[in-house]
Amino acid sequence: MRVIIEADSDSGSKRAARFLADLVRRKPECVLGLATGSTPLAAYRELIRMHREEGLDFSRVTTFNLDEYVGLGPTHPQSYRAFMQQNLFDHINIRPTSTFVPDGRALDFELHCRQYEQRIRDSGGIDLQLLGLGSDGHIAFNEPGSSLGSRTRLKTLASETVRDNARFFGGEDKVPRLAVTMGVGTILESRRCLLLAFGEHKAPAVRDTVEGPITSQVTGSALQLHREAIGIFDSASASLLVRRAYYAEVEASQQLLERGEYRQLGIGSQST
């Protein structure tokens, strides 16, 4: 995994927004995988600013969200569909018919999940999947124990996740117990994955995801198998990473490569 450590969540979010915006500019008809939660909020604000001030054009973009609570309709204030409308879609020029969020009120979930996967395939697959990280290291709602080959399906929320999300629902007893979520296998098929985690409370999950063993107990760790997974962290969430200094060196080389400053890296120079 390419690990980018920014000083704080603000610069990390701007960095993430730049990855998304660069793709939208390079490939206007791209397919974005989007995430909910507090982590991507500032990145979405930055995309809205880029749309308003720099004309970033979403008119040909298609989006697929990772997950949705079972039982919540699109107008329920805690539904992920409502979250996406409020925090992104209502403020950019994306076509409403090009935004897909799993339906928490589907009558036949097996069919709905199959169709969701088919839609992703029909759209050409996800170019870039944005991901947050649960405090137990889960991605989307792939709780500990989820198969690393899993597809979009129903998942029972872990008690840690229910506790984490109780603040949005006004109590643990009001949090839905089930969610419909893209699987780890679905996520790994995205061409690029962009994992974000900010704050000290995410430090153990970041450590386990980036430097721990690949295990279904920490579904984020499956990203180690991905060819193009990028983690953007702040110094607090990255504080438990053992190889921080090395990641900074890799980034410095990456910057030189991107700027075409090959000589400083010893590329093209003769050694005698």
Q: Is 261 an annotated catalytic residue?
A: no
Q: Is 143 an annotated catalytic residue?
A: yes
Would you say 63 and 33 are in contact if contact means Cβ atoms under 8 Å apart? yes
Residue 133 binds ligand GLP (CB under 6 A): yes
Q: At 230, which helix (H) or strand (E)?
A: strand 229-234
Would you say 88 and 48 are in contact if contact means Cβ atoms under 8 Å apart? yes
Q: Is 76 an annotated catalytic residue?
A: no
Among 17, 34, 35, 223, binds ligand GLP (CB under 6 A): 35
Residue 247 binds ligand GLP (CB under 6 A): no
Q: Which residues of 80-104 are buried (b: 16+ CB within 10 A; e: fewer)?
A: bbbbbbebbbebbebeeebbbbbbb
Name which of residues 140 to 169 contact ligand GLP (CB under 6 A). 140-141, 161
Residue 134 binds ligand GLP (CB under 6 A): yes
Q: How far apart are CA 186 and CA 81, in angstroms?
A: 20
Among 7, 8, 38, 249, binds ligand GLP (CB under 6 A): 38
Q: From its phi and psi, is residue 198 left (phi > 0), alpha (psi between -120 and 50) or beta?
A: beta
Exposed (0-12), middle (13-18) or buried (19+): which is 114, by Cβ within 10 Å?
middle
Between the alpha carbon of residue 46 and those of residues 92, 98, 203, the distances in Å are 11, 21, 24
Catalytic entry in 46, 68, 127, 138: 138
Name which of residues 65 to 94 contact ligand GLP (CB under 6 A). 66-67
Catalytic entry in 136, 164, 189, 234: 136
CB nearer ligand GLP, residue 37 or residue 231? 37
CB nearer ligand GLP, residue 21 or residue 162? 162
What Rg value do the Cα atoms of the chain yield, rounded? Answer: 19
Catalytic entry in 6, 46, 67, 68: 67
Q: Is 67 an annotated catalytic residue?
A: yes
Q: How far apart are CA 147 and CA 128, in angstroms?
A: 22
Shortest Å distance, C-beta 135 to ligand GLP: 7
Stretch near ligand GLP under the rule CB under 6 A, chosen from 33-41, 118-126, 212-220, 262-270:
33-41
Which positions are annotated as active-site residues? Answer: 67, 136, 138, 143
| Interface ranges with ligand GLP (CB under 6 A) | 35-39, 66-67, 132-134, 140-141, 161
